Amino acid sequence: MRMRLAPLFAGVVLVAAGCGSGAGGDTASGEMPSEIKVFSVTDKTGTLSYAGTNQLKGIELAIEEINEQNYLGESTMVLESRDSAGEAQTAASQVTEATVDPRVAAILGTVTSAQTVAVAPLAQAAKVPIVFTQSGSDGTLVGEYTYRATAPMATYYDQAGEYLQTQNVKSLGILYNSANPTLAQLSEGTIPDMGGRYGFTVASTSAVQNTTQDFTAPIAKLLADDPDGIAIMMNGAQNATAVSQLRQAGFDGTLVTHTGSGAGNLTPAGPAGAGMTWPTDFTYHGTNPATQDFVEAYRTKYDGENPNNYAAEGYDAAWMIARAIEKSGGASREDIQNGLQQVVAEGFTGAEGDVTFEGNDMRVKGALVQWNGTEEVLLSEK
């Protein structure tokens, strides 16, 4: 099955190369060591490990395919991975370690904005290409060596506004984690700004912290304004706790959320979470053939497990680096940087479907999914 993927990815590269300056290019060093070392910094433990561990699974699958397909000729890609455990200082130390190691050709970066804004300037200053996933806030893309392989939620979150409009929501309450820069940005800016386009006003907002587990008081504040709908914008497992307490408080209106409610995070809520709806950059129900090839490969490698968006993003990020090496014809940091510039100019088709870029920032069409009480189901695709 993985060999079936080779023509797909190779075909994308060959078509793109034929339209551009060609694989290799004038700037390639031609240096292709037997091993090309890629360094990963992610959350394997801690409150956001659900994102980091899945990202890492996607990375590992991609590297396995790259090597099995001899995509880089006689060179193989090797991964050295670190656990940042949710700590920005730890992530900064690990990225610094990577930048001073001449064997490290590129870095696969952090998944949380708080860490990313700390490490992006380090990679940029050292001129080491770094590809982030998630990290949706400002401060991720600080120069030409920084890339994001996750489309910022704000770029496709209008699908939530369209859904609210179909549900005739006129007033919306927002419960959000203000310690998460991405969620704060969505809750304080993106969602309120959508109201005029989709016919709702924000009745009230209520902010909590990473450690909050009792949402009784903030929920009571929101319900006092009698909203038609509520946006729950929490970190990971907080989403299940919040929606369960919201239903216990008697709210039976429309619910929207974000990709952090995926990855099995609503499983503890069960039927209480039914109806939670969110836009996403990836769903394993996606109909793009490249998406389904990825889903099949992932299930094969991980004993039938369905991939989530974090895994798809990690997979596409690793393939971005491989494509860059193939295009530039070399594996030095500068070669990879030159190749990545070709990748973002041309786009590609990967686990997340048809991918384009604005500058070094990924864009996807996205999809709308909903938790039905037992699993995530597809409502619509763009």
pLDDT in tens, 254-279: 999 999 998 889 999 999 999 999 99
Identify the structural domains of the chain with CATH numbers, from first to last.
35-152+287-365 (3.40.50.2300), 157-280 (3.40.50.2300)
Angle in degrees, CA 259, 264, 268, rounded to 5: 115
pTM: 0.84
Asked if the model's pLDDT at residue 334 lies above 90, the reply is: yes
Q: Kindly give, in sequence order, each residue whose CB lies less than 8 Å from that of residue 196, ignoring residues fewer than 6 positions away.
A: none
Q: At what angle do helices 49-68 and 2-19 cross, to 10 degrees?
A: 80
pLDDT of 343 over the 80 cut = yes
Greater pLDDT, 16 or 99: 99
Report residue 190 as tokens: 């993106």
Count other Cβ atoms within 10 Å, centred on residue 354.
Answer: 14
Q: Which of 88-92, 117-121, 258-262 has the lowest mean pLDDT?
A: 258-262
Higher pLDDT, 169 or 180: 169
pLDDT in tens, 189-242: 999 999 999 999 999 999 999 899 999 999 999 999 999 999 999 998 999 999
pLDDT for position 382:
87
CA distance 25 to 295: 33
Question: Is residue 28 very low, low, confident or very high in pLDDT (cuts 50, 70, 90)?
Answer: low
Output the six-digit token pair for 197. Answer: 């386009």
CA distance 120 to 88: 11
CB 117 within 8 A of CB 50: no
The yes-or-no verdict on residue 12 having pLDDT over 50 is: no
Above 90 in pLDDT, residue 9?
Answer: no
Q: How far is CA 258 from CA 4, 106, 158, 232, 277, in A?
A: 33, 30, 12, 8, 8
Q: Is the pLDDT of residue 23 over 60?
A: no
Confirm if 180 and 212 have CB atoms less than 8 A apart: no
Q: Under a CB-based contact definition with an 8 Å cutoff, are residues 293 and 270 in contact?
A: no
